[in-house]
Every structure is written in structure tokens, then in C-alpha cells.
A = this chain, B = another copy of it.
């Protein structure tokens, strides 16, 4: 089966016409028409076999995750998805693998109205590169540089479960089957927090998605905003799952801070927006936890219940460290 047949079979679908996608796949370029006056939000992520996923991963889970990590960037910006491109390097044209991959990909894409508008396929070591496009009205994007001294710091959902699942795969931690199923789903099928990102427009100041670990991603907000933050360990523990805390509070804190692969949002909002944050969370059907505060002293601090400093665990994930 040739390249064009491969694309046609698995990735070209008969779709209802969309005014914001005047031209989809199959030409030199796709054409998109964002809502007039809105800004276009763009993000790209590359996933490499052996680095971001193992060769034995369920292809449907991989299709889901490849798009989810990109949509998560739109969520962190408060942007609404429009469409995405997919470039694939494949060692061989494996029909069953591609069918599974496309199923996982399109289930998530359709759930968020995010249209596959173009792509590229080539032979090579397995590599997935997606570029996602969304839109946001000028002035409402949740930028990393917008945190202010006095802001509350929040995270959505729970952190650290993806890392816990990874440790089970690595053989360092044992979990019962039910717990393993839960945390494995967090690792393999992360949920992009798009509804929360949209609901936080005009409410939150700064936001980022947590892909490399809270410590690193909140660190980006702090550096970009020229501020620091002090987190309460007891509050941060409330943003971890029972499955994770069952393995000890110190491990839970470490995985929450540096585990990565969470695809939750970390964001800041002024204290007078606490009710609005609660409404946004309720609207998105997702818990958020206030874990600390932005202050003027650069850096990130973690305090125990006696307000004594706790040593921060190691650095966030860095592909070349």
C-alpha cells in the first residue's frame, strides 16, 4: 500500500463542511478561517518512540495522547481548538496499527471539534509531530508572563499519577490491579483541560499546562512573570490521588512536583477571583486546588504544616539534561 492510499484509508474522512475550515486535507495547504478579530493560538509537540512512549503501547491510546498533549497547550492558553496537522514517520505501513491510532486520535479530535486539516507521512523511526491551532480573543489568552504578586496558585485535578504508573512499569512500585488501571489511564490517556481553560478566560492571570512536572512548569510562569511562589505541602497533597498518597506523602509530593505527564493546568488568579475560579471549575466539572501564593521573592518554596521549608525534590524533566 502506497503513501497516498495509506493516508486516504486512515486519515481522510467525509466530514460535514465547516465555515472555519474552508479547505481541509489534500492540497498544498489547508485553509482555516478563524473568527474575525480573534488571535490564532499555535502549539507543536513531537513524540518519539522509546522517549515518550514504548513500542508496545496500544496505538489507540497513542493516538489519543499525541493529540491530548497538544490540546493541553491550547487549554493552558484559554484557546478554543480549530484544527491540527499530523506528521508521521513510520518504520512500515502497518494497517492494523494505523487503524487503532486513527481511532484514538479522531475520538478525541471529534470530542473537541478539532479538525485534522493536513499532514505528512514518511518512512523512518516512529515519530509523531502534531501542530494544533486554536483561537482566543485578543487580551484573553492566559499567558505565562501574567502572574502577579499576591495571586493564588491553583492546580486542576490531581498530579503525579502518570509518574506513579511509570514507576510500576519500571518495577519500582507495586499497585493492586484496580489502582494500576486508574493511574495507567492517567499516563496513557491524559485529558486536556480545555473547558477549564476557556472558563478561566478573564478570571485567571497566568496559566501553563503541567507536562514536565509542576515544579518546572510553575517555574516557567515564575520566571516569565519575574515573581516567586510559596506552596503549602498540605494543600499540594490534596491535589494528589488516594492511589498516589497510599504510597507515602513524600513520594506523593515528589511525583506531584516533578513527575510530569499530568496535563493538568497550573494557574494563578487574584484572591478576589476565588468565587469566579470555583465557578469556572464547577462549569468545567473539574476540581481545582489552591496550593499557594505568588510572592515577590524569586524561586519556588514549599512549606510544611508548621510553615517550615521543605527541600524541593529534583528538577523537572529535561530531554537533554
Asked if B133 contacts A42 (CB within 8 A), the reply is yes
Partner of A29, one of B31, B74, B127: B74
For A88, what are the chain B residues with a Cβ–Cβ distance below 8 Å? Answer: 46
- CB A146 to nearest CB in B, in angstroms, measures 10
Q: Which of A48-79 contact B (CB under 8 A)?
A: 48-52, 73-74, 76-77, 79
Taking each of A22, A85, A143, A320, which has the highest tally of chain B beta carbons within 10 Å of its own beta carbon?
A320
Does A310 lie at the interface of the complex (its beta carbon under 8 Å from any beta carbon of B)?
Answer: no
Can you add 19 more A-B contacts, CB < 8 Å, to A27-B77, A43-B118? A3-B321, A22-B138, A23-B143, A27-B208, A28-B76, A29-B41, A29-B77, A29-B79, A29-B134, A31-B141, A36-B36, A45-B120, A46-B88, A46-B89, A48-B122, A85-B131, A92-B320, A121-B320, A124-B127
Asked if B144 contacts A26 (CB within 8 A), the reply is yes
Q: Which of A1-51 contact B (CB under 8 A)?
A: 1-4, 6, 22-23, 26-34, 36-37, 39-51
For A45, what are the chain B residues with a Cβ–Cβ distance below 8 Å? Answer: 87, 120
* Interface residue ranges, A against B (CB under 8 Å): 1-4, 6, 22-23, 26-34, 36-37, 39-52, 73-74, 76-77, 79, 83, 85-90, 92-93, 117-125, 127, 129, 131, 133-134, 136, 138, 141, 143-145, 207-209, 224, 318-321
Partner of A51, one of B36, B73, B123: B123
For A224, what are the chain B residues with a Cβ–Cβ distance below 8 Å? Answer: 26-27
Asked if A141 contacts B46 (CB within 8 A), the reply is no
For A6, what are the chain B residues with a Cβ–Cβ distance below 8 Å? Answer: 320
For A29, what are the chain B residues with a Cβ–Cβ distance below 8 Å? Answer: 41-43, 73-74, 76-77, 79, 134, 141
Taking each of A26, A32, A318, A319, which has the highest tally of chain B beta carbons within 10 Å of its own beta carbon?
A319
Partner of A28, one of B40, B43, B47, B319: B43
Residue of chain B at shortest CB distance from A139: B22
For A77, what are the chain B residues with a Cβ–Cβ distance below 8 Å? Answer: 27-29, 31
For A22, what are the chain B residues with a Cβ–Cβ distance below 8 Å? Answer: 39, 138
Asked if A144 contacts B44 (CB within 8 A), the reply is no
For A123, what are the chain B residues with a Cβ–Cβ distance below 8 Å? Answer: 48, 51, 319-320
Asked if A320 contacts B93 (CB within 8 A), the reply is yes
* Complexed CA–CA distance, A89 and B129 (Å): 10
Could you list 8 examples of A-B contacts with CB < 8 Å? Answer: A23-B141, A31-B39, A44-B85, A46-B124, A48-B122, A51-B123, A51-B124, A122-B319
For A120, what are the chain B residues with a Cβ–Cβ distance below 8 Å? Answer: 44-46, 129
Asked if A34 contacts B40 (CB within 8 A), the reply is yes
Asked if A42 contacts B32 (CB within 8 A), the reply is yes
Residue of chain B at shortest CB distance from A37: B36
Asked if B134 contacts A131 (CB within 8 A), the reply is no
* Complexed CA–CA distance, A29 and B78 (Å): 10
For the complex of A and B, list the 8 residue pairs with the smallest distance between their C-beta atoms, beginning with the closest: A48-B124, A129-B129, A46-B87, A131-B131, A29-B41, A28-B76, A125-B125, A44-B85
* Complexed CA–CA distance, A89 and B86 (Å): 16
